[in-house]
Structure 1
Amino acid sequence: MSTVDGSLRRLAASVLLPGFEGTTAPDWLLRRVGDGLGGVVLFGRNVVNDEQVTALTASLRAARPGVVIGIDEEGGDVTRLDAGRGSDVPGSHALGAADDVDLTRAVAAAMGARLSACGITVDLAPSADLNLTLDDPVIGVRAFGSNPTAAARHVAAFVEGLQSSGVAACAKHFPGHGASAVDSHLALPVLPRTEDELRAVELVPFQAAVHAGVRSVMTGHLVVTAWGEQPATLNPRAVQVLREELGFTGAIITDALDMRAVAGTTGMADGAVRAIAAGVDALCVGGEPLDEAGVDWLVDALVEAVVSGELPESRLVEAAARMAALGVSPVGATGHDHSLGLHAARLAIQVRGDLRLPDAPLVLDLMVPPTIAVGDVPWGLGPYLTELLPGTTVLATRSITPEEVEAIAAGRPVVVVTRDAHRHAWARELVTGLARIGLDLVHVETGVPGPDLGTRARIDTHGGSRVSLRAAAERIAGAVASPVSGGTK
């Protein structure tokens, strides 16, 4: 291979952010990082604990000090550092429900301090999307709320808090995923929105992130009909709006190119070329882990596009420079407050109705499949309430009838726990069925609050994180001895 060819391949590799398999860096990955691979993205499969992540990132940085190390650590339901036990901070929706921007900033700063200590350079958070339809299958409690102005305040505070640690924030999923009823992991969403509608609603939190100095923005794999048929990740108009109208000058990162919205339509390699050509700077790949052959495949596609004239080399050079700016080592911030997350989760709890329990209840944790973004993170109220309230019994189930529940409860109160009951017919119908037969019933909703289902009391946690579930368990346990009623928060 000629020197020119080698230089071009190094340049192409420098815009890649692949995921990989294992809790230590494979030899091939360390070699490629040393040769100029832009960076990596860590997933739950790469994490055991903070000490192991710190050792992993140190090995990558030893291969090349400027390597970009990203992670999807939103807090709440989407966590990688705490994938094995559930997050120790509530997610965006809970912070939006608490509605204290100073608290949001403090939670993000604590998260940033932890990420910094672990050697992370960019956190793929916050979600700047809005809750614009209850049918949305993938954002939900990842958004701060539905009001653009209120959400914008929290997005800006999160960016400021996180970046105070030296870890770059990444506002996502531009131009906003919250009006879609399609999961872009599985198919290509189409948003029938005009540009004026976007400016008035979806773009407001992104503009706030830019004003707060966010260092990166992630594009969403969704079609805005006013911008043409290409998803934002591959669409020059989307990049133009972000750069020229919103004034963003940092790095633009794709959502994972192996998601079916791109891989199942354009194809991952062609999508990589078209994203860079459209003005994107960093290519996130590897929700499904890549190996060295997969990296070579994408490098080959970018090199061939430059050689053929399809992709200007100058565009690749520009992208590589913006990507490299995310590889600055974090400042080693300290001050990760382990108690702050539970405090925030408690403030986010909302209770409606008459929350009184005569004795320890039967807890029904209704198990619905998590979204791909959330993954297999522990969920359920039962373990927390069992710890706080002896005599509590727990049933985690995917299928049960109201009559079976009545028989098992044997006169005890029932706490039924759901995640987005409005999106899962069997869960919704079970709750309404239990209410109809007159059980002493409390409904705990850990997703986006949907319609009232006729229970005597309702608790909304605004997320399914470990601390949110613990906070709900505290309220229920306290209600056995100290009745709580009315619309409290």
Structure 2
Amino acid sequence: MLGDPPDTQRRLGRVRAKRTAALPFLVATVLLGATACGGATPTDPTAAPTRAAPSTTPPPADPVAAWVDERMSQLTIEEKAAALLMLHAPGTDPAPLRAYVDAGVSGLILMGDNVPPGPAELAALTAAAQADPEAPVLVGIDEEGGEVQRLPWDESASAEELRAEPAAASRIAFASRASTLAQAGVSVNFGIVADVTADSESFIFGRILGTDPAAAAERVAAAVSGEQGTVFSTLKHFPGHGAAPGDSHSSVPAAPLTIDEWRAGPAIPFGAGIEAGAELVMTGHLAYPAVDAAPASLSAEWHRILREELGFAGVIVTDDMLMLQHNGLPEYADPGENAVRAIAAGSDLLLYVLPADPSEFGISVDGLAASIVAAVQSGRIDVGRLDEAVERVLTLRRSLVA
């Protein structure tokens, strides 16, 4: 169901930079091996080189890309703005969730209060929330196992258990977890923690897959491999919460690392997960002041590093945007301003875990979309930035049926 043609893989971020870089060496090795084999026929150095006839067959069209282009041509700027939202509504009644979908959002995130007694009931809930068979809404959930687990019937091993096992155990556990999620209508797992720390006092310690970068990277890549083709994988919390003491649910933790220290440590598990094919990366509301004083979720520099240095071409999703408001800092009190800053920085999908009455925090789909539209019209958000974000999200959605 989640298999993708080549161009769609590029859009979803299945980057293979290391393998591409190795191709010249591999080609040379193969050629040397061929001439060294006893059965090889020596070539005449005076003979004219033979050239393959150019192919007249055009490359096959990517149906996902064609569909996305067509859908983009039909969307208003307001619809594009709404398409960058993934929201939560509490409870097991599908009506509030469906209302968000009808308002044009691209995603729903399920929390514990959305989970009914069993998988069949959850599958019915997620099915009832869908509205567009050509581009199903993304249904996400935080299903890490262990400390963060929404589905009581998920019996797969937790990160705390997996970091004591060989990497193959992570692949098996996340393959099983992905199957459990897919059967319930969940398409995105916010479940692969790529953070790394050796500090047992860190609030993230119980959720990491490794206490050193190499061990974490091996298990993160295995977890992505396990989920591949069943649900979309998400790496979190970029650029790495393990190095940032404190809890980003109530503050903006700061990491004391330089960019080179980051590259030699926290970057490694994220790079491994991207290389393994993760379709999403979640940015954290945490800062590395030596790189940028702003939280990574609002930092153009961290988005640049993720795209250009780590080669990620998939969907960048924020952590819950309400966390910025919950920290009580005045510069994050305006939800519309937070949304504009995140998209201008490079985010593609904004995540909101909302109460039954979102107006409690000054939030509505129309309000958020209006803030984004106004920023585009004023030039704060380039129209090309808006379009590339919508294209990435629509590609992910269309890939569910392609």
Shorter-chain TM band: 0.7 to 0.9
In the other structure, the counterpart of 1:144 is 209
Matched, 1:157 2:239: no
User: How many Å separate the matches in 2 of 1:194 and 1:248?
Assistant: 21
User: How many Å separate the matches in 2 of 1:147 and 1:66?
Assistant: 38
**TM superposition score normalised by structure 2:** 0.75
Q: Is there any run of 5+ residues in structure 2 with no aligned partner, and where? A: 1-72
Paired residues of 1:188 and 1:222 also in contact (CA < 8 A): yes
User: How many Å separate the matches in 1 of 2:115 and 2:395?
Assistant: 25
Percent identity over the alignment?
Answer: 39
The 1:143/1:261 distance shift into structure 2, 3 A limit, reads farther
Q: Give the 5 Å matches for 1:119-138.
A: 119-137=185-203
The 1:262/1:271 distance shift into structure 2, 3 A limit, reads farther
Matched, 1:38 2:103: no
**Which amino acid counterpart does residue 297 of structure 2 have in structure 1?**
T
In the other structure, the counterpart of 1:196 is 260
Paired residues of 2:187 and 2:232 also in contact (CA < 8 A): yes
In the other structure, the counterpart of 2:168 is 102
User: How many Å separate the matches in 2 of 1:330 and 1:102?
Assistant: 27
User: How many Å separate the matches in 2 of 1:78 and 1:230?
Assistant: 27
Kindly state the Cα deviation for residue 320 of structure 1 after the two structures are TM-superposed: 1.1
The 1:30/1:291 distance shift into structure 2, 3 A limit, reads farther
In the other structure, the counterpart of 2:235 is 171
2:345 to 259, 275, 278: 278
1:244 to 288, 295, 308: 308
User: How many Å separate the matches in 1 of 2:327 and 2:382?
Assistant: 23
Kindly state the Cα deviation for residue 35 of structure 1 after the two structures are TM-superposed: 4.6
Paired residues of 1:273 and 1:301 also in contact (CA < 8 A): yes
**Which amino acid counterpart does residue 162 of structure 1 have in structure 2?**
E
**Which amino acid counterpart does residue 282 of structure 1 have in structure 2?**
L
Matched, 1:232 2:296: yes
Matched, 1:51 2:123: no
Kindly state the Cα deviation for residue 297 of structure 1 after the two structures are TM-superposed: 2.1
In the other structure, the counterpart of 2:40 is none
- The one-character-per-residue Cα deviations of 1:100-141 (angstroms, maximum 9, x if unpaired) are 22221111111111111111111112000012423322x121
Paired residues of 2:136 and 2:400 also in contact (CA < 8 A): no
**Which amino acid counterpart does residue 369 of structure 2 have in structure 1?**
V
Kindly state the Cα deviation for residue 188 of structure 1 after the two structures are TM-superposed: 0.8
User: How many Å separate the matches in 1 of 2:184 and 2:232?
Assistant: 14
**Which amino acid counterpart does residue 175 of structure 1 have in structure 2?**
P
Paired residues of 1:30 and 1:60 also in contact (CA < 8 A): yes
- The one-character-per-residue Cα deviations of 1:252-295 (angstroms, maximum 9, x if unpaired) are 00000101477633233211111100011000011545648622
In the other structure, the counterpart of 1:14 is 83
In the other structure, the counterpart of 1:78 is 148
Kindly state the Cα deviation for residue 180 of structure 1 after the two structures are TM-superposed: 2.3
SS in 2 for 1:217: strand
Matched, 1:114 2:174: no
User: How many Å separate the matches in 2 of 1:19 and 1:289?
Assistant: 9
- The one-character-per-residue Cα deviations of 1:297-349 (angstroms, maximum 9, x if unpaired) are 21121122112221122211111111223324758xxxxxxxxxxxxxxxxxx
**Which amino acid counterpart does residue 280 of structure 1 have in structure 2?**
S
User: How many Å separate the matches in 2 of 1:90 and 1:63?
Assistant: 34
User: How many Å separate the matches in 1 of 2:146 and 2:94?
Assistant: 27
The 1:31/1:260 distance shift into structure 2, 3 A limit, reads closer
Paired residues of 2:136 and 2:397 also in contact (CA < 8 A): yes
Paired residues of 2:87 and 2:100 also in contact (CA < 8 A): no
User: How many Å separate the matches in 2 of 1:127 and 1:230?
Assistant: 22
- The one-character-per-residue Cα deviations of 1:14-48 (angstroms, maximum 9, x if unpaired) are 00001112212225x42442352111111001001
Paired residues of 1:119 and 1:329 also in contact (CA < 8 A): no
User: How many Å separate the matches in 2 of 1:92 and 1:290?
Assistant: 34
User: How many Å separate the matches in 1 of 2:317 and 2:247?
Assistant: 19
Paired residues of 1:272 and 1:302 also in contact (CA < 8 A): yes
SS in 2 for 1:173: strand
Matched, 1:312 2:388: no
The 1:39/1:131 distance shift into structure 2, 3 A limit, reads same
Matched, 1:253 2:321: no
Kindly state the Cα deviation for residue 60 of structure 1 after the two structures are TM-superposed: 2.0
User: How many Å separate the matches in 2 of 1:243 and 1:51?
Assistant: 39
The 1:328/1:44 distance shift into structure 2, 3 A limit, reads farther
- The one-character-per-residue Cα deviations of 1:443-487 (angstroms, maximum 9, x if unpaired) are xxxxxxxxxxxxxxxxxxxxxxxxxxxxxxxxxxxxxxxxxxxxx
In the other structure, the counterpart of 1:353 is none
User: How many Å separate the matches in 1 of 2:234 and 2:374?
Assistant: 30
**Which amino acid counterpart does residue 271 of structure 1 have in structure 2?**
N
Paired residues of 1:170 and 1:215 also in contact (CA < 8 A): yes
In the other structure, the counterpart of 1:420 is none
In the other structure, the counterpart of 1:299 is 369
User: How many Å separate the matches in 2 of 1:170 and 1:111?
Assistant: 14
Q: Give the 5 Å matches for 1:402-481.
A: none
**TM superposition score normalised by structure 1:** 0.62
Paired residues of 1:11 and 1:317 also in contact (CA < 8 A): yes
The 1:212/1:69 distance shift into structure 2, 3 A limit, reads same
Query: How many residues are matched?
Result: 321
SS in 2 for 1:223: coil
Matched, 1:208 2:275: no
Question: What is the root-mean-square deviation in Å for CA atoms of aligned residues?
Answer: 2.2
The 1:20/1:198 distance shift into structure 2, 3 A limit, reads same
Higher fraction of strand: 1
The 1:273/1:289 distance shift into structure 2, 3 A limit, reads farther
Paired residues of 2:349 and 2:389 also in contact (CA < 8 A): yes
In the other structure, the counterpart of 1:183 is 247
